[in-house]
Amino acid sequence: MSKTKYDRQLRIWGEVGQAALEEASICLLNCGPTGSEALKNLVLGGVGSITIVDGSKVELGDLGNNFMVDERSVGQSKAKSTCAFLQELNDSVKAKFVEESPDALIMTSPSFFSQFTLVIATQLVEDSMVKLDRICREANVKVVFVRSYGLAGLVRVSVKEHTIIDSKPDHFLDDLRLNNPWPELYSFVETIDLNVSDHVAHKHIPYVVILVKMADEWTKSHGGNLPSTREEKKEFKDFVQSKMISMDEDNYKEAIEAAFKVFAPRGISSEIQQICNDTCAEPSSNSSDFWVMVAALKEFVSNEGDGEAPLEGSIPDMTSSTEHYINLQKIYLAKAEADFLVMEKRVKNILKRIGRDPSSISKPTIKSFCKNARKLKVCRYRTVEDEFSNPSVTEIQKCLADEDYSGAMGFYVLLRAVDRFTANYNKFPGQFDGGMDEDISRLKTTALSLLADLGCNGSVLPDDLINEMCRFGASELHVVAAFVGGIASQEVIKLVTKQFVPMLGTYIFNGIDHKSQLLTL
């Protein structure tokens, strides 16, 4: 791994994420502008290997929307030309190409796809999407479907199950346990006197100590309960403020600002509880490492954790004397390490119980799991076939009637309607000169028929949108392809690194209204 080469991205997903990228094998179906742009981002990011599947030749028209081919490429294999160009961008990426139509490959060689970590399927029609999704799910290969069509774009992730340890939420409460201090923290807090006469010492007591002490005082006079009502919370903040000696005490201001951490509910969140209650949390010999660790977490929460997950072990910056801060840091780190050791023991015991090597899950993996135990995510996606044949009728009707979502839903329906149109008329609407009025009429009939099949009788699409779809003529505009390809590569990185949360639903880009929306169907 070149730390200098990938320095900026290492700051986002770390060495573990970069290693996952460098081990990944990505297959791209169709290397038009949309696919090429998506793959370019991954090649620059240092993905392990790429395989491009495309049976077409470079035409003059490709020079206007695909920067991965040039005049010398005209008449050559598009897969070969794109592959050579991408290889130039990062010579540490292994690059191969297959000169074959992706649709034909899906039909004749389904086993071909099992060698990859992930498949980026661009510009496929509905029938091929359904078949590929079925093949990849059986082989446990992730798929990202991508399509740009004129000023419209679509991205859809499809994988049976995607588990995330490091979900990197934007906002998350520090794991300080101010509402549920453990004995060692409590003992340390007891050694510090809030009524110290030395003014300098008073203004350097960390807010963690102030709040644990004040919460303890509060519970003693309130039947063992922490503040819960709005009045009580205000009263508690006033109580903290009353201990200030002067107005320049930043530590007390921090304590008042952080008082809400005392009111936070104890124990694990409902989302983590749901993961612990999942049927997969009953481990068997073929359980993934993630679910083995969830089973250990479930045991930990019920026993040593006393309703809580393992402690993260880090504390934020705060106004404090160096001595107090270092002591606090040591207490939090010691508790996190103790929780990790308990978890490690439980993981080993479970692995032994299910007939697996007790050391098969590494210490760093268990440590990362403990640190992120409150941020776990499990994403499950419906099959493309299920979405296409049994979408949520109420959701479609709701979106069509909603001014903000009607454009996105209109494009979603029309992208499916153009595939039906193509199956019937052997061309995309507006693809060739002449006959535009006839294509508009046919597409409108096809779209209404599709809506009826989806259970949305009586729903209509705006004529302007249907006209625009025909005007697009199935073209890939570079500006849209680059944007949609960028979104797709972002989702690929989330799936490969198992960090951040990938999109749940079908993403639609509406280039007419400049809107991006996620449809849950």
Confidence of residue 83 (pLDDT cuts 50, 70, 90): very high
Confidence of residue 34 (pLDDT cuts 50, 70, 90): very high
The yes-or-no verdict on residue 415 having pLDDT over 80 is: yes
Whether 130 and 384 have beta carbons less than 8 Å apart is answered as yes
Place of tokens 């499809």: 158
Enumerate the CATH 3.40.50.720 domain ranges in the chain, comma separated.
1-160+477-519
Rg (CA), the chain: 28
The two beta strands, 94-98 and 49-53, are parallel
Per the structure block, which two tokens stand in for 336?
């996190």
At 12 the pLDDT is: 87
At 3 the pLDDT is: 62
Provide CATH code, domain 1-160+477-519.
3.40.50.720
Whether 203 and 251 have beta carbons less than 8 Å apart is answered as yes
CB atoms within 10 A of CB 506: 22
- The helix (run of H) or strand (run of E) holding residue 52 is strand 49-53
The two beta strands, 515-519 and 506-510, are antiparallel
DSSP class of residue 513? T
pLDDT digit string (tens) for 272-298?
Answer: 999 999 999 999 999 999 999 999 999
Distances (CA, A) of 412 to 155, 323, 331, 385, 487: 11, 60, 54, 15, 17
Whether 372 and 166 have beta carbons less than 8 Å apart is answered as yes
Confidence of residue 459 (pLDDT cuts 50, 70, 90): confident
**How remote is the C-alpha of 480 from its chain's centroid?**
22
Q: How far apart are CA 292 and CA 282, in angstroms?
A: 8
Q: Return the HEC string of 74-110.
A: CCCEHHHHHHHHHHHHCCCCEEEEECCCHHHHHHHCH
pLDDT digit string (tens) for 146-174?
Answer: 999 999 999 999 999 999 999 999 888 89
Whether 502 and 377 have beta carbons less than 8 Å apart is answered as no
The arithmetic mean of pLDDT across residues 338-359, rounded, is 97
Confidence of residue 1 (pLDDT cuts 50, 70, 90): low
DSSP class of residue 208? H
The sign of the torsion formed by the CA atoms of 105, 110, 115, 116 equals positive
pLDDT digit string (tens) for 475-498?
Answer: 999 999 999 999 999 999 999 999
Per the structure block, which two tokens stand in for 372?
């992120």
The two beta strands, 162-164 and 118-122, are unpaired
Q: How far apart are CA 139 and CA 351, in angstroms?
A: 25
Per the structure block, which two tokens stand in for 360?
């098969």
Q: How far apart are CA 503 and CA 8, in angstroms?
A: 24
DSSP class of residue 216? H
Per the structure block, which two tokens stand in for 465?
């949108």
Q: Which residues of 426-442 are buried (b: 16+ CB within 10 A; e: fewer)?
A: eebbbbeeeeeeebbeb
Indicate the Cα dihedral angle 469, 473, 477, 482, nearest 10°. Answer: 70
Collapsed DSSP state (helix, strand, coil) of residue 224: coil
Q: Which residues contact 190 (CB under 8 A, 6 or more apart)?
A: none
